[in-house]
Structure 1
């Protein structure tokens, strides 16, 4: 096997392409958008620079790994600085808590709530670290080809030790009594698009990773990572075709043979697909046998993560805020979650996340100005055959939601007069994620990581019914979130190389 085509220059596709290149394969990469990165994209207008999607750097070792594998110094591509404080959290207009990366500061904050809760919080972090090591060694860093890879004594025992049957919020509640601390831990399940009242307790490792490994910032924003990988790939002779959508993955006699672009076959010995798995199965894989059990009906029946409504605001004022990451909680957090995942409507009282990196990176805005990113978790779009005009996020809907969110921003955060200082504005809705990035149903984080859409039950990195076809990205094993998508790229390439060496 010599030649591999990668579909999609998102984070998974770029990482897979570099790994394949390093292993000696000739790699060609196709991307439908005019720039690489997928949802890790960038808006640059009127002197303002915004990250479109991900904004929080966790587990920096996995970011650096791609460059180190190629024999390069990661600091030449993605220099990082630690973020301090970690995050500001607002529970109401007069109740705010600041979280630190510093253990002494964390303990001081916890003890201000209560010594019993401080003890429970720290005990819970230790328990999560133990479970993280189990998950890392048994599930996150290994792929599954057949039932025997999962249904074996070692894996089943590891699953029992992870206590995966409980939901995230209940897991927190056993150790921490203060509801504010519970929320501050449970909210992070939104980073992978699932409700803390539904997501398996394993996903509470996310706040543990934040607190134990820190949160980091890359000068220029998160897009620096995507751009750095593109530079590395091209420096080493790789070809990236942007503004070049793949029409379909060519399959002959049960084997992927390349991709079709603008009616022309680009032949390859194997294909790694970084496009969102449900979208790829519906729109890029037309061979029914190759799709196997992933029929249109089955794909529509799967559960999807939430989506996002995001405001990108350029402000002609700099606000004196220390934290670049902030969260505002709804007064009734449980109802907020129910609005998103059960009623499937824009939350009446939304929680939201604020990102204001200009305080540490003034080059992102003109002098004396700043950027503000406001992200609201919202429901994904209905299935394609259920889409109606009422689901289309009309301009008047967007305007109404904007007003609802900005009312809360002004009332409960440091941005008390933000409306008076907006000089640039853009909004993204679930439709943008569906149309620009082929996120099926606009689900920003891909398939929802429920118990039966995780590990062995999540789409695999190697296609079951088609040779020479491999998958990476947020909807396949091991899941969503930038560090985990980087692991999916590693697993997809390991699967490809295992098949190549066995042939």
Structure 2
């Protein structure tokens, strides 16, 4: 394997030298774009290859009839991880991206219409807790203290550790034992909170990163404190505007993002990644290859089988994968002024529905939803007097056997009817633009194994050292970023995965001097 360079800081760079070592980045999701910026700042000449016709990956943008729809991530937390990328280029993020704080962060709506407003102000949240259950106030404070403790370890100490060796894992075991990381998110919440609806309010966050709250390690309760400390934000112009800004940073370094470039294979010679071959037949040589593609797909489909020892097909097949999603994007010819920016709509079942999605892998009759109305904050995303929405429903991944070509439209109509009756009156007569994606999109368009929307499920035995490593265990000079590697899914996680590269990718000068 290549020499590991311990932690060092990338410094601002302008244009990379044409004779600099070449890094190829497969995929232009947030992880891939962040990796390109960091490598460019360290003197690499970088080419980003994107299969779709525009950058962004899961953060692709759909446009239809004057409506702008962010395809995927819409909740921006920990904006400092983005700001750091601009700083590496000697620029300020606020010159390119306008982030607006959300208040409330979310409105959680129960099936009978009762709501919990998750306000930015902690005392306002405590008042909401007291409105549901005064006896849980002390428990809420204790839960937030545990959330902060998990943040201090899980994010501040571990998010940028490469976990390339079992010794990296051994160093953190005492912290994980002390924090009871073997317990689930729901288990930790239930330790402090007794009211069943408050338990749901405080435990839904793993679903935002592909996890089952009843199985996801309690380390992920750090999200509650992360949001409390840094807020929840939305980008004016949509999340796609952040992607545009990141691409601008890459181009400002003298590097390139090439779209409509389908990578078919990572080329390996003598155990070392030497470049990629495109579907067109073009071969692009590289000194370093970084894959922002799904980790299972990277090993299973992009690498020759004889180049793999650890991540064999059998091991990949035996892993547990996140749920998938059905997302309906729609524009209305009227505005629904009372609907907040972010709504979490919980169905009549909680654990039972999650069992259906993650374990039984059946498409249930009921559902829980995330409803996104960005025009609450940014009316420019729709024609005047109109609203832009998307509604997301967690569903089982493709191992379920659901025929989405047949089931997608009936399922969409069921959701439309529910929203019309309970949240968006007369919706069926107001829709003027419509687009939908299903697990087939994640499988066929985004090349996610089994159509899992977030890669590997974030359970304890698939976290940190147990996930596919940022520095490939199988192939020298191959590196992984994105949701399927450490630290995991979610915007802060995938951007942090690129920061790990600073500790495992050799400096450009070392690569240049290598035989």
Per the shorter chain, which TM-score range?
over 0.9
CA distance in 2, matches of 1:292, 1:313: 46
Cα RMSD after superposing both structures: 1.6
Residue aligning to 1:376: 393
1:119 aligns to 2:138 (yes or no): yes
Deviates more, 1:130-139 or 1:14-23: 130-139
1:41 aligns to 2:39 (yes or no): no
Residue aligning to 1:452: 461
CA contact (8 A) 1:86 1:323 kept: no
Q: Deviations over 1:22-46 (max 9, x none)?
A: 1111111111111001001101110
Q: After superposition, where does 1:21-420 map in structure 2 within 5 Å?
A: 21-151=40-170, 154-261=171-278, 262-288=280-306, 290-321=307-338, 323-382=340-399, 391-394=402-405, 396-413=406-423, 415-420=424-429
Residue aligning to 2:30: 11
CA distance in 2, matches of 1:135, 1:104: 26
CA distance in 2, matches of 1:493, 1:265: 27
Alignment size in residue pairs:
492
CA distance in 2, matches of 1:136, 1:373: 30
CA contact (8 A) 1:248 1:260 kept: yes
Q: Which secondary structure state, in structure 2, belongs to the residue aligned with residue 477 of structure 1?
A: coil
Q: Which secondary structure state, in structure 1, belongs to the residue aligned with residue 83 of structure 2?
A: helix
CA contact (8 A) 1:273 1:470 kept: yes
Q: Which secondary structure state, in structure 2, belongs to the residue aligned with residue 259 of structure 1?
A: strand
CA distance in 2, matches of 1:119, 1:420: 47
TM-superposed deviation, 1:419: 1.2
Q: Which secondary structure state, in structure 1, belongs to the residue aligned with residue 275 of structure 2?
A: strand
CA contact (8 A) 2:341 2:374 kept: yes
TM-superposed deviation, 1:365: 0.5
CA contact (8 A) 2:186 2:213 kept: yes
CA distance in 2, matches of 1:110, 1:264: 59
Structure 1 ranges of 4+ moved more than 6 A: none
Q: Which secondary structure state, in structure 2, belongs to the residue aligned with residue 94 of structure 1?
A: coil
Deviates more, 1:179-188 or 1:128-137: 128-137
Q: Which secondary structure state, in structure 2, belongs to the residue aligned with residue 39 of structure 1?
A: helix
TM-score when normalising by structure 1: 0.95
TM-superposed deviation, 1:391: 3.3
1:441 aligns to 2:458 (yes or no): no
CA contact (8 A) 2:21 2:508 kept: no
Give the 3 Å change call, closer, same or farther, for CA 104–148 of structure 1 in structure 2. Answer: closer
CA distance in 2, matches of 1:500, 1:297: 38
CA distance in 1, matches of 2:230, 2:286: 40
Q: Which secondary structure state, in structure 2, belongs to the residue aligned with residue 337 of structure 1?
A: helix
Q: Which secondary structure state, in structure 2, belongs to the residue aligned with residue 174 of structure 1?
A: helix
CA distance in 2, matches of 1:441, 1:207: 29
CA distance in 2, matches of 1:499, 1:279: 28
TM-superposed deviation, 1:146: 1.8
Deviates more, 1:80-89 or 1:49-58: 80-89
TM-superposed deviation, 1:470: 0.7
Q: Which secondary structure state, in structure 1, belongs to the residue aligned with residue 365 of structure 2?
A: coil
CA distance in 1, matches of 2:478, 2:96: 30
Q: Deviations over 1:399-454 (max 9, x none)?
A: 211122123222332x1221110111111101011111111111111111111100
CA contact (8 A) 1:90 1:412 kept: no
Deviates more, 1:421-430 or 1:126-135: 126-135
TM-superposed deviation, 1:179: 1.1
Q: Which secondary structure state, in structure 2, belongs to the residue aligned with residue 142 of structure 1?
A: coil
CA contact (8 A) 1:460 1:471 kept: yes
TM-superposed deviation, 1:465: 2.3
CA distance in 2, matches of 1:443, 1:321: 33
CA distance in 2, matches of 1:158, 1:33: 42
TM-superposed deviation, 1:120: 0.9
CA distance in 2, matches of 1:138, 1:59: 15
CA contact (8 A) 2:343 2:370 kept: yes
CA contact (8 A) 2:51 2:263 kept: yes
Give the 3 Å change call, closer, same or farther, for CA 368–467 of structure 1 in structure 2. Answer: same
